[in-house]
Amino acid sequence: MARRERELTEEILGQAPGRLAAVGLPACLAAVNEGAVARLLVAHEDMIPGFVCGRCGALSTGNDECPYRSTAALAVPDLLEKMEQRTLDDDGHVTMIRDALFSVAAKLRCPVTGAGSRR
């Protein structure tokens, strides 16, 4: 792992969970959905299929996280790509990383509230 990648990883993993860091897909999805990601670190190379809500824009691995799920969930072939796009749209940064201890992690600009999408 390059030095810069290692520093970013240590910075994120050194944060108390639930504060200004998210590790793993569910936590990162929640952070992306709230526009809270300052930097997304992506280590996973394969596509992860998921859903995007056609109403609120929430990204999820299952179509069960939105009140409109039965009518508005659209399948997406690559959830990570959507997360990267969303992060960049929110003026965040995306770093691809190899040999990480996580599939995806994020440095947050604010804690995730759990209140869902702000869109």
Residue from 59, 56, 75, 78 nearest 67 by CA: 56
Asked if 66 interacts with Zn ion (CB under 5 A), we say yes
Asked if 59 interacts with Zn ion (CB under 5 A), we say no
| Integer angstrom CA distances of residue 92 from 1, 39, 81 | 22, 5, 14
Question: Shortest Cβ distance from residue 70 to Zn ion (Å)?
Answer: 11
Q: Which stretch binds Zn ion (CB under 5 A): 1-9, 53-61, 82-90, 102-110?
A: 53-61
Asked if 53 interacts with Zn ion (CB under 5 A), we say yes
Asked if 118 interacts with Zn ion (CB under 5 A), we say no
How does DSSP classify residue 20?
Answer: S
Asked if 55 interacts with Zn ion (CB under 5 A), we say yes
Asked if 56 interacts with Zn ion (CB under 5 A), we say yes
CA angle 73, 64, 87 (to 5 degrees): 65
Question: Shortest Cβ distance from residue 12 to Zn ion (Å)?
Answer: 28
Asked if 76 interacts with Zn ion (CB under 5 A), we say no
Of 53 and 104, CB closest to Zn ion: 53
Residue 98: exposed, middle, or buried by beta-carbon count in 10 A (0-12, 13-18, 19+)?
A: exposed
CA distance 107 to 20: 6
8 Å CB contact between 103 and 49: no
Asked if 68 interacts with Zn ion (CB under 5 A), we say yes
Which residues of this protein are in contact with Zn ion, per CB under 5 A? 53, 55-56, 58, 66, 68
